[in-house]
Amino acid sequence: MTGKYEQYAVRKPAIVTADYRDAIPEGDVIPNVSDVDTGPRVIFSHSFVPASDTMVEYGIISGDTVIGDREGKNVTEPHRHNYEEIFLFLGTDKNNTADLGCEVEFWVGEGDDLEKIIFTTSSSIWIPPNVVHFPQIWRNVRRPVMTVVIMPKAQERKLETTG
């Protein structure tokens, strides 16, 4: 017998194509997605559970990489959207989950407000609506790192590129 809340369970993620071709100007070349980044997997969204406006993605980074290169436009360039995002960076060492296992450089803002945030511990970053963010630069990755992005009120992904 199926319960009342079975409709809210999602057991298989959707794999998002990691090149975001709709956000890249026509004619631009998009480099291959790095083999050290799974790209985003959508585990929860309005498409899965229409009663919810929240979207949740996750992925695994297993080596040094850049996500959102300002010059080469690989994966996703700096962008903004009309919903907030919460980025989670989770260490996978079962003996020390606080140790991220790498260094992450995360860029937020634009113009005079452009800021580089660097961390080496399991961390989170909240991005308010309409705030430019990216790239992410991953260095000295010693073991896989789990990333999760929570987008309350997003329904579906909408990017406004800034470059």
* Mean pLDDT of the 122-135 span: 92
Give the DSSP letter of residue 141.
Answer: -
Residues 6+ positions from 155 with CB-CB distance below 8 Å: 45, 46, 53, 55
Name the CA dihedral angle for 50, 55, 110, 159, rounded to a multiple of 10 degrees: -50
Name the CA dihedral angle for 159, 44, 153, 8, rounded to a multiple of 10 degrees: 160
Q: What are 20-68's pLDDT values in tens digits?
A: 444 434 544 433 445 777 778 888 888 888 898 998 999 999 988 888 7
Note the pTM of the prediction, 2 decimals: 0.80
Question: Can you list the domains of the chain with their CATH numbers?
Answer: 57-163 (2.60.120.10)
Q: What are 84-95's pLDDT values in tens digits?
A: 999 999 999 999
